[in-house]
Amino acid sequence: MESPELWRELGQQLRVDSVRAAAVTSSGHPTSSMSGADLMAVLLANHLHYDFANPEDPRNDHLVFSKGHASPLLYAMYKAAGAITDEELFTFRKFGSRLEGHPTPVIPWVDVATGSLGQGLPYGVGIALAGKRLDRLPYRTWVLCGDSEIAEGSVWEAFEHAAYEKLDNLTAIIDVNRLGQRGETMHGWDLGSYTKRAEAFGWHAIEIDGHDVEAIDRAFTEAADTTGVPTVIVAKTIKGKGVQAVENKDGFHGKALPEAEQAIEELGGIRNIAVEVAKPEISGEPHVFETSGSLELPSYELGAEVATRKAYGEALKAIGDARGDVIALDGEVSNSTYAEIFRDAHPDRYFEMFIAEQQMVAAAVGIQVRKWKPFASTFAAFFTRAYDFIRMAAISRANIKLCGSHAGVSIGEDGPSQMGLEDLAALRAVHGSTVLYPSDANQTAKLVEAMVDLDGIVFLRTTRGETPVIYEAGESFPVGGARVVRSSDEDEVALIGAGITLHEALKAADSLAGEGVSARVIDLYSVKPVDVKTLRATAEATGGRLVVAEDHWPEGGLGEAVLSAFAAADESVKVVHLAVREMPGSGKPAELLAAAGIDAEHIATAARQLVASTVGAAN
Ligand SMILES: Cc1ncc(C[n+]2csc(CCOP(=O)(O)OP(=O)(O)O)c2C)c(N)n1
């Protein structure tokens, strides 16, 4: 649709429909929608290539509303495109409607959930990376940003990364309406403050009047024609444009218009322009990476000393040999996480994300939009930098795999800044997540294999130091299971650990055996979902005496996962919970494990006392 008159009319329609949608529950963000309406009208009518009947078409463009609160504008676009009816528009923000307050992939044309500001552009970088380096198809990614959200650091991680990767298939559109939620932004209408920064980051930047439809059209064409660098369109707009009562005024952010009927009249009334959105014009199929065929996981000799982080790298490489859809990303620590083993074997499917953890997780989310299987790794501690992205990834229904190395005090001399001590709690709290924590190399390989096709946010925690291989290669470790490593009919107590503490528990069981105390040892490699059945059977067999030891703060880790298994149980259990309770410093791993009270000696002591007190009491 190439008529400026029509674009203007469509812009007014998008405004009117935004006002109408927000009036339904008297909530939403119509003024934020009205500033971007002309930008989106021209995009929809003349630049977006998208088959609404086939959202899975790999050739489709991608449109990300980073300012997700402008959902009325997005849904008004869907109506104009014929994807939803006027009737459905009127379900906006109602219970049960897929037109939620902020867009989520419950709607088939939404790739990623937004609404936490500063995230859309980093996701756009991920999608554009998939287009350029994985799918190798020239679809475009368009991201609509608010001006206030540009203050987020994650936006600048994205700016830097997009330029570094020469993402000329990515266009950012900044809707500079001067206002944020509570007043003026840092830069107001100083468009140059955005263009100069973007140019300094290596972008092509275009300043326009965001209500001049012909200028908008020219800018989109220029963006699509620009090669070698991404483009940002910095558009001067007016918040609440078209309705005098709210135009460019403070105090109307996130509010339905006071007089909706009057506003609609002022905007020229209800229209029903139907836009024939262009279908993708590009041809070709997504690239397929060649592989060597069948999967041969690495295998390790019983008794060998191997770090689980090393097994992660070796297993991921082997899986990558067999599967072309497996991708790896790392945050500048690939020689610590051992993602470098994958990188060296599959450089085309490896993304160096440097020290930008938010962008790393966002890129993984963007890459999985196109059905690739991303594994992102860094120190377990540093995923906290990207926690909001992980939280939002769950709302995106994203399938991403995260590997956090350097778990706990057992890393040793580097000290607490490098120790993952809250990662289990953080990742367990994510909706629908899976949390795995292997203790030996063969188990790690099997769990990494299982991760590939698991849905949702899957987290694997690995250990820095070498630990003995205790399982035969090829043994099975179902997700949601636990392994009874040692047991007898005479067990009086159970020692429960995972990762490094499983090995401490085994040593403790040895010393207890020497004193005539028989201890059952449980490997809780699946922290979430936790194996309720095995835990309850263990409690039954050991008189309910459980010692749990974990290299993690006491809150939200292994201990609380174990306790959750007994929340609705009839039997009562006596749980001694050994965890890191004091701020650790530097030292040798063994010294730090002892200082935290989670080494073999402390486990044995706790077990001895538990048995002495409770057996005595029972007698
Ligand atoms: C990370 C984050 N912080 C705060 C908010 C609350 N919030 C929602 S919209 C908004 C203002 C956004 O202003 P801008 O990006 O300029 O968009 P506009 O609505 O003005 O177009 C704020 C602070 C949020 N959604 N996300």
3-state secondary structure of 438: coil
Residue 1 is predicted with a pLDDT of: 64
* Residue 562 near residue 496 (C-beta atoms within 8 A): yes
- What mean pLDDT do residues 313-327 have? 98
Does the C-beta of 39 come closer than 6 Å to ligand 1? Answer: no
Q: What is the mean pLDDT of the chain?
A: 97
Which residue among 29, 32, 123, 175 is best mutated to probe the pocket of ligand 1, counting the most ligand atoms within 8 A of its Cβ? 32
Angle between helix 500-514 and helix 589-596 axes, rounded to 10 deg: 70
Annotated catalytic residue: which of 152, 207, 352, 357?
357
pLDDT, tens only, 541-555: 999 999 999 999 999
Angstrom distance (rounded) from CA 545 to CA 577: 11
Residues 6+ apart with CB under 8 A from 124: 62, 64, 66, 141, 142, 143, 158, 162, 170, 172, 366
Does the C-beta of 147 come closer than 6 Å to ligand 1? Answer: yes
User: Strands 434-436, 457-461: parallel, antiparallel or unpaired by DSSP?
Assistant: parallel
User: Does 560 participate in catalysis according to the annotation?
Assistant: no
Does the C-beta of 69 come closer than 6 Å to ligand 1? Answer: yes
CA-proximal residue: ligand 1, atom 12 (nearest): 180
Residue 162 is predicted with a pLDDT of: 98
Print burial letters for 106-145: b (CB count within 10 Å at least 16), e (below 16).
ebebbbbbbbbbbbbbbbbbbbbbbbbbbbebbbbbbbbb
Angstrom distance (rounded) from CA 227 to CA 242: 36
DSSP character for 407? B
- Please provide the size of the chain in residues: 619
Band of pLDDT at residue 569, cut at 50, 70 and 90: confident
Residues 6+ apart with CB under 8 A from 452: 319, 323, 326, 373, 401
Which percentage of the chain shows pLDDT scores above 90?
A: 97
Residue 619 is predicted with a pLDDT of: 40
Q: Which atom of ligand 1 lies closest to the CA of 150?
A: 15
3-state secondary structure of 328: strand
* β partners of residue 234: 174, 207
Biggest CA pair distance of the chain: 91
Does the C-beta of 534 come closer than 6 Å to ligand 1? Answer: no
Quote the tokens at residue 526: 């699946």
CA-proximal residue: ligand 1, atom 9 (nearest): 181
Does the C-beta of 104 come closer than 6 Å to ligand 1? Answer: no
Q: Measure 477 CA to ligand 1 centroid, in angstroms.
A: 45
| pTM of the model as a whole | 0.98
DSSP E strands: which ranges in 383-456? 400-405, 434-436
Which residue among 148, 175, 179, 211 is best mutated to probe the pocket of ligand 1, counting the most ligand atoms within 8 A of its Cβ? 148
Q: Measure 536 CA to ligand 1 centroid, in angstroms.
A: 47
Quote the tokens at residue 516: 């005539």
pLDDT, tens only, 29-68: 999 999 999 999 999 999 999 999 999 999 999 999 999 9
* Residue 231 near residue 173 (C-beta atoms within 8 A): no
Residue 617 is predicted with a pLDDT of: 52
Which residue among 15, 64, 117 is best mutated to probe the pocket of ligand 1, counting the most ligand atoms within 8 A of its Cβ? 117
CA-proximal residue: ligand 1, atom 23 (nearest): 181
Quote the tokens at residue 349: 């499917």
**pLDDT of 616 over the 60 cut:** no
Does the C-beta of 175 come closer than 6 Å to ligand 1? Answer: yes
Q: Measure 145 CA to ligand 1 centroid, in angstroms.
A: 10
pLDDT, tens only, 178-222: 999 999 999 999 999 999 999 999 999 999 999 999 999 999 999
